[in-house]
Amino acid sequence: MAQQITSLLYIQCDWNSILSEVGAEAWISCKHKDYPGIHGKIRTVTSLPSKPSLTISEGFEIEDLTRSSIIIKHENSYSTVFLAPHRIYNGIHKGSIESLDVTNEGLAVSSSSTGHLMVWDTRTGEKKITLTGHVFEVYKCRFFPSGKVVLSCGADMSLKIWCAKTGICPVTLSEHKMAVTNIDFVNRGKNIVSSSKDGTVKLWHCGQAACIDTIATVTSNVNCCKIFEAPAYLSLGERKVQIDDAEVDTGNKILLFGCEDGTIHCYGLESRECLFKKSVESAVNCITSVGKDHFVVGCQNGQVILYNLKDEESYKIWHESNSAVLSIKAFQKVGFFISRADGTVFFMPENGYLKRISLTGPNCDPVYDVASDGKNIYTCCRDGVVRLYHVENAINYVTNKS
């Protein structure tokens, strides 16, 4: 399928605080990939009790304005809802924040470039406990489905399992030969998978603290991995050896992983058979499932590609920016948020609605990870800040629910 390339709108990162003052100006840009941008100004004319009166130049139009959002359109672009953070969490970590996960009950875990993890409360911002034990960077941290246990991995070639309440690490998994780049859970988490720069994806048993098997070995760094339920029409292959008793719930699961050499691999988790392999133009940085029939990948060259498992072909390709895609988070079965190295976070509606959401705040610092508590979106950034966004109204707007 041909690539979908359109212009994107960008706004000054602190637009909401700047435009609260009469006479203040903030910039707005419309940029088409590889072409010069159109740059305009938003100016506050008068300050009103409910919202200020604004002017905007260079063919931009303001469609709506609230205290925390502004909807802007240009004739060359989609309407874009710019959302300011509802809350900013400072001081969780001293360095950049590499990874973030949040439970529906308001507990968060985040990891930093210093090798530490922090468990904290999103409702109060209170730090609960520091998880110390990794050496060097912690690339990923995730809550087990129970929300009470944390799994992490990083540059020290290990995976660690932590009690989120006590901070105790009863299990360290160490069979990879290079940095562990990503992790995922098989159902409730008795088994987990990990990907590594050593070119392997491994299956582990948490209770036994042991590697069950190496699912796949390739000739490139494996940057990301994801497990999800296989649709009924997908043939998963047959297991050629007896299944170990430690292997739990791997039937009817597929494993997707993406590599530095631009390849995407799909395996039957139980059968260990490669179901298909694809190649894209640059390194695959992140991968996730979207619904039952689709998965989406984000690439180093800025491409975002949505695949349909039914025909194993790309369903949609977006290449609207050259900035690397660093994370993808599926949201409420209507689309997904992507974060980039240039500090932007966009919501991509799966079904092609001609509207977008842009989460503002970072000033060109890479946004490394996106998390959700089921209703709100959280981002973590190189600037050491976690930002919370209330996205419900914006989601309703771009998906025509409002």
pLDDT at 288: 96
pLDDT at 124: 96
Distance of CA 138 to the CA centre of its chain: 16
pLDDT at 291: 83
Q: Is 290 exposed, middle or buried (0-12, 13-18, 19+ CB in 10 A)?
A: buried
Half-sphere exposure in the Cβ direction for 303 (13 Å, CA)? 20
Residue by residue, DSSP assigns 29-46 as EEE-TTS--EEEEEEEEE
Asked if residues 129 and 139 have their Cβ atoms less than 8 Å apart, the reply is no
Query: Over its length of 402 residues, how does the chain's per-residue pLDDT go in tens digits?
Result: 545 557 899 999 999 999 988 999 999 999 988 888 999 999 999 877 667 899 999 999 999 999 899 999 998 788 999 999 999 999 999 889 999 999 999 999 999 988 899 999 999 999 999 999 999 899 999 999 999 999 999 999 999 999 999 999 999 999 999 999 999 999 989 999 999 999 999 999 999 999 999 999 999 999 999 999 999 999 998 887 778 889 999 999 999 999 999 999 999 999 999 999 999 999 999 999 988 889 999 999 999 999 999 876 777 899 999 999 999 999 988 899 999 999 999 998 876 667 899 999 999 999 999 999 999 999 999 999 999 999 999 999 898 764
Distance in angstroms (rounded) separating the CA atoms of residues 49 and 371 = 34
Output the CA angle 272-196-199, nearest 5 degrees. 60
pLDDT at 4: 59
CB atoms near residue 102 (< 10 Å): 23
Rounded to 5 degrees, φ, ψ at 39 are -120, 125
What's the sign of the alpha-carbon dihedral 262, 267, 272, 274? negative
Distance in angstroms (rounded) separating the CA atoms of residues 57 and 76 = 14
Could you tell me how many helices (H) and strands (E) the chain has, helices first? 2, 35
Distance of CA 159 to the CA centre of its chain: 20
pLDDT at 76: 76
- Report the run of H or E that residue 56 belongs to, with start and end: strand 53-56
Strand partners, 17: none
Burial 319-341 (b: 16+ CB within 10 A, else e): bbbebbbbbbbbbeebbbbbbbb
pLDDT at 5: 57
Question: In this structure, what is the dihedral angle of CA atoms 252, 255, 256, 261, given to the nearest 10 degrees?
Answer: -150
- Report the run of H or E that residue 224 belongs to, with start and end: strand 222-229
pLDDT at 399: 85
pLDDT at 263: 98
pTM strictly above 0.85: yes
